[in-house]
Structure 1
Amino acid sequence: MRAIRFLGLALVLVLGFGTSVAVGEDVKSGSTKKVGGPFDVKAITGDKAGTSLCYYCQYSAQKRPAVVMIFTQKADDNLVTVVKAVDAVQKTNEKLGTVVVGVSGVEAADFEKIQATHKLTTPLTIAEDKDGPAKYELNKAAAVTVLVYKQGGAVAKNFAFKTTKEAAEKAKEIAEAATEAVK
């Protein structure tokens, strides 16, 4: 009971003084060493729209020096901010592979609506496994997981966010990691 009163008092103090305290650890999602390998998606946009394919396989066969793979549980304007930042890098680094993979309830219609409004370069796809490929170790608590990896699958940078808003706030860092990886 004493612990509950103390916790309540601490919460009042934190809220009352307008400061914030991070509770728990940041969300972790996806490998930090090597990506999980091949998996199939249904392409919603891009030159492969309407087909099922493996972008990991395609980019590996093309010997792309780096790839940005964005897994998302939401399709909203915050996600668009992230994708536009990656698109900007891809436009000046044609060898960079990029793909967005919708998981956990993202529907084709969600991506079609975004594409109609924003005309993104990065292909928008839906994972054939509803929750994404198991071997990619995606955390359901992460609304967005971004894996920037080099040719051969070594992860150069891993980003995981609880919300798409948090991801949008780090769009510049994601773009910088993509730029660095493709060098």
Structure 2
Amino acid sequence: MRATRFLGLALVLALASSVATGEELKSGPTEKIGGAFDVKAITGEKAGKTLCYVCKFGGEGRPAAVLIFTQKADDNLVAVVKAVDGVQKTNEKLGTVVVGVSGVEAADFEKLQTTHKLTTPLTVAADKDGPEKYNLSKDAAVTVVVYQKGGKVSKNFAFKTTKEAAEKASEIASAATAALK
């Protein structure tokens, strides 16, 4: 009986310590963006072309940009993109792009675009797992990097699921708005 109580207490303590030390998911740069990288544009004015949106935004002198890296193309992702689209529609100087990584295909984005008519360009990374210098976590279904002119990261978000990302869509939109100031 005493051993059972001790074992039970040990199990509770072990679970509590694993929850207490559980680290927050980290993905993507937190201080400065990783620089230029190529994508193939699936939608938007550059559809069908391979280009560097980070370079494009820099060349246009955009005061801020939002990079949304995703491993999944679904309606939860659409909620995030629409929130960012809302900011971009009232702040045309904001650069926005969605980058499909880890198996997201052009057809996935074409389907989303047909159904939802998104403003933000949907692209697929030239490097399947995304740009190496961006340190994207394989555990993050969605990584959002909001940065200001010059590449200073103003906010970084990492989500295990697209559902978690959708639940924080308004927070992402607020970060994009704040980066413009």
Determine if the TM-score, normalized by the shorter chain, exceeds 0.5: yes
Distance 1:23 1:169, change over 3 A: farther
**How far apart are 1:24 and its partner, in Å?**
1.8
**How far apart are 1:9 and its partner, in Å?**
6.7
Distance 1:7 1:140, change over 3 A: farther
Distance 1:59 1:7, change over 3 A: farther
2:23 pairs with 1:25: yes
* Structural mapping, 1:1-183, within 5 Å: 6=8, 10=12, 24-183=22-181
**How far apart are 1:22 and its partner, in Å?**
7.7
**How far apart are 1:94 and its partner, in Å?**
0.3
Which TM-score applies when normalising by structure 2?
Answer: 0.90
**How far apart are 1:6 and its partner, in Å?**
3.4
RMSD: 2.2
Q: Distance in 2 between matches of 1:78 and 1:66?
A: 24
**How far apart are 1:122 and its partner, in Å?**
0.1
Q: Following TM superposition, where does structure 1 have runs of at least 4 consecutive aligned residues deviating by more than 3 angstroms? A: 5-10
Task: Provide Cα deviations, 1:68-122, integer angstroms capped at 9, x if missing partner.
Answer: 0000000000000000000000000000000000000000000000000000000
Q: Distance in 2 between matches of 1:87 and 1:7?
A: 51
When the two structures are aligned, how many residues end up with a matched partner? Answer: 174
Which TM-score applies when normalising by structure 1?
Answer: 0.89
Distance 1:171 1:8, change over 3 A: farther
Q: Distance in 1 between matches of 2:78 and 2:142?
A: 12
**How far apart are 1:182 and its partner, in Å?**
1.0
Q: Distance in 2 between matches of 1:22 and 1:168?
A: 25
Q: Distance in 2 between matches of 1:6 and 1:125?
A: 51
Q: Distance in 1 between matches of 2:53 and 2:177?
A: 20
Letter in 2 for 1:107: E
- Larger C-alpha radius of gyration, 1 or 2? 2
Distance 1:24 1:110, change over 3 A: same
Distance 1:151 1:25, change over 3 A: same
Q: Distance in 1 between matches of 2:99 and 2:21?
A: 29
Q: Distance in 2 between matches of 1:82 and 1:6?
A: 43
Q: Distance in 1 between matches of 2:157 and 2:9?
A: 31
Q: Distance in 2 between matches of 1:120 and 1:7?
A: 53
